[in-house]
């Protein structure tokens, strides 16, 4: 009998997999399950892991990132590297989950031992071999995602032929590689069922990280978000190797994450010259109306300049909704002089942010605020 394949210890191991199990049991769980399945069916297993980085996004937002990174690396090592029962695996996610780590080491000097630190970029995949990474910008498998022209056939069958134009505005716009006109399957299915427009996908996904990055982002990010909400485009550098720890200070990393997440689409791309590895510049826009409405729901956090200081209103006139980099800068970052100088330096070195007509008023405004 096949039930005789497993000894009592293995049966206990299987039964120990439950909510509240210790880290070691969880890290070895998929390896052990691969063992049991392989022996039962007489062949190696294929593991499909969907949205592997969703827990990591939650950990980043909620402050237990480093702990989860260590756990995940051990889990992936046991599941995908030292697993002799694995045929192959496919993982889906929106990031490659790289992170910056501080490595401490000691070096011997003539005066004794001295400690030093260095910053290195690592990945939860560092221990794995034979990885192939396919991103939304890759042409491989570009025809394997989402719904395409069959959406119009479905609308006809459901008696909704007049909705084609609006459905396209709401749920089309996704791009994989060079393949365009890709519709969000979840949103289309829900629209065909309920026959009304709504932010189905945006409401079903975890937007905590994106919300956090936009709300706590620099004034430049907020300015560029307002540009996108006006159905205009922005030009930014995109690096597909997203590093979580860089999201706090790298605006390019934020846009890269939003592109990988499907919130932005590529309108145009800088030509790739040679075999260079540096980030390329892309022209981006919001993917569709569903995404636009999602961001409009989280954008009312923009305060009015009146809430900062009545002294500033004479210099801003009727422009109180912070549509300029200067007003956003004054509202959000005039908290400490150190923060002020750092942010100002960032603005002056970023040409994408030097847009404001009232920039020449800055010295007067700054003096007024400090008085």
H helix or E strand, kind and range, residue 265: strand 264-269
- Residue 19 CA, chain-centre distance (Å), reads 28
Nearest to 47 by CA among 79, 19, 78, 25: 79
Q: Helices in 247-350 by DSSP H: which ranges? A: 251-261, 289-298, 313-316, 325-333, 337-348
Q: In angstroms, rounded to a whole number, what is the distance separating the alpha carbons of residues 79 and 137? A: 28
Average pLDDT of the residues in 119-148: 76
User: To the nearest whole number, what is the mean pLDDT of the chain?
Assistant: 75
Q: Is the pLDDT of residue 228 over 70?
A: yes
CB neighbourhood size of 222 (10 A): 22
Phi, psi of 102 (to 5 degrees): -95, 120
pLDDT higher than threshold 60 for residue 108: no
Nearest 5 degrees, angle CA 38-CA 40-CA 41?
70
Helix (H, G, I), strand (E, B) or coil at 264: strand
- CATH number of 207-301, picked from 3.40.47, 1.10.10, 3.30.1150, 3.30.300: 1.10.10
What's the pLDDT score for residue 56? 83
What is the token pair recorded at 328? Answer: 């956003």
pTM over 0.75: no
DSSP, res 279: P
pLDDT of 274 reads 56
Pairing mode, strands 280-286 and 264-269: antiparallel
List of E strands, 133-224: 174-176, 179-182
DSSP letters of 113-158?
Answer: EEEEEEEEEEETTTT--S-----TT--TTTTSSSB-THHHHHHHHT
For 23-35, what is each residue's pLDDT tens digit?
999 999 999 999 9
Q: Are 100 and 245 in contact (CB under 8 A)?
A: yes
Tokens, residue 166: 């609006």
Quote the radius of gyration of the chain (alpha carbons, Å): 25
Q: What average pLDDT score do residues 196-203 get?
A: 88
Confidence at residue 337, expressed as pLDDT on a 0 to 100 scale:
42
Q: Give the H or E element holding residue 290.
A: helix 289-298
312 token code pair: 């500033």
Residue 302 confidence class, pLDDT cut points 50, 70, 90: very low
Domain with CATH 1.10.10 in the chain: 207-301
The mean-pLDDT minimum among 11-15, 67-71, 201-205 falls in 201-205
Per-residue pLDDT for 247 more than 60? yes
pLDDT in tens, 336-359: 344 445 445 555 555 445 443 334
Highest mean pLDDT among 104-113, 229-238, 242-251: 229-238
CA 106 to chain centre: 36
pLDDT at 47 over 80: yes
What is the distance between the alpha carbons of residues 158 and 9, in angstroms, rounded to a whole number? 55
306-331 pLDDT tens trace? 344 444 444 444 444 444 444 444 44
Tens of pLDDT, residue by residue over 55-98, are 888 888 788 888 888 899 899 999 999 999 999 999 888 776 55
Query: Which of 176-190, 205-219, 223-237 is predicted with the least confidence, judged by mean pLDDT?
Result: 205-219
State the pLDDT at residue 296.
85
Which tops the pLDDT comparison, 242 or 238?
A: 238
Task: In whole angstroms, give the CA distance from residue 132 to residue 181.
Answer: 26
Mean pLDDT for 151-175 is: 94
In which region does residue 146 sit, left (phi positive, over 0), alpha (psi from -120 to 50) or beta (all else)? left
Question: Which of 35-39, 138-142, 330-334 is predicted most confidently?
Answer: 35-39
**Rounded Cα–Cα distance for residues 356 and 359 (Å):** 5
Please tell me the predicted confidence (pLDDT) of residue 307. 42
């Amino acid at each position: 009998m096949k039930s005789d394949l497993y000894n009592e210890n293995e049966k206990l191991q299987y039964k120990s997999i439950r909510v509240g199990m210790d880290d070691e049991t969880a890290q070895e769980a998929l390896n052990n399950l691969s063992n049991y399945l392989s022996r039962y069916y007489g062949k190696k297993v294929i593991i499909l892991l969907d949205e592997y980085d969703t827990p990591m996004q939650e950990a980043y937002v909620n402050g237990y990132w480093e702990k989860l990174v260590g756990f995940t690396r051990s889990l992936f090592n046991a599941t995908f590297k030292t697993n002799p029962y694995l045929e192959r695996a496919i993982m889906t996610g929106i990031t490659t989950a790289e992170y910056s780590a501080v490595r401490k080491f000691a070096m011997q000097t003539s005066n004794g031992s001295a400690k030093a630190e260095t910053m290195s970029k690592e990945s939860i995949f560092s221990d794995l071999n034979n990885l192939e990474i396919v991103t939304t910008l890759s042409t491989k498998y570009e025809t394997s995602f989402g719904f395409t022209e069959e959406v119009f056939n479905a609308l006809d069958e459901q008696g909704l032929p007049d909705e084609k134009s609006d459905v396209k505005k709401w749920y089309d716009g996704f791009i994989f590689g060079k393949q365009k006109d890709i519709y969000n399957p979840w949103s289309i299915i829900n629209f065909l069922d309920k026959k009304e427009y709504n932010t189905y996908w945006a409401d079903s996904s975890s937007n905590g990280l994106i919300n956090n990055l936009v709300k706590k982002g620099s004034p430049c990010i907020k300015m560029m978000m307002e540009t996108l909400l006006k159905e205009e485009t922005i030009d930014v550098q995109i690096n597909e190797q997203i590093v979580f720890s860089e999201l706090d200070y790298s605006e390019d990393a934020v846009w890269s994450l939003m592109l990988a997440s499907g919130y932005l689409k590529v309108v145009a791309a800088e030509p790739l010259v040679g075999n260079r590895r540096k980030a390329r510049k892309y022209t981006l826009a919001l993917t569709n109306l569903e995404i636009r409405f999602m961001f409009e729901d989280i954008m009312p956090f923009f305060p009015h300049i009146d809430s900062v200081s009545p002294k500033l209103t004479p210099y801003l006139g009727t422009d109180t909704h912070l549509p300029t980099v200067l007003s956003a800068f004054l509202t959000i970052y005039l908290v400490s002089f150190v923060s002020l100088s750092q942010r100002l330096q960032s603005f002056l070195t970023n040409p994408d942010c030097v847009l404001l007509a009232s920039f020449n008023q800055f010295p007067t405004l700054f003096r007024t605020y400090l008085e």
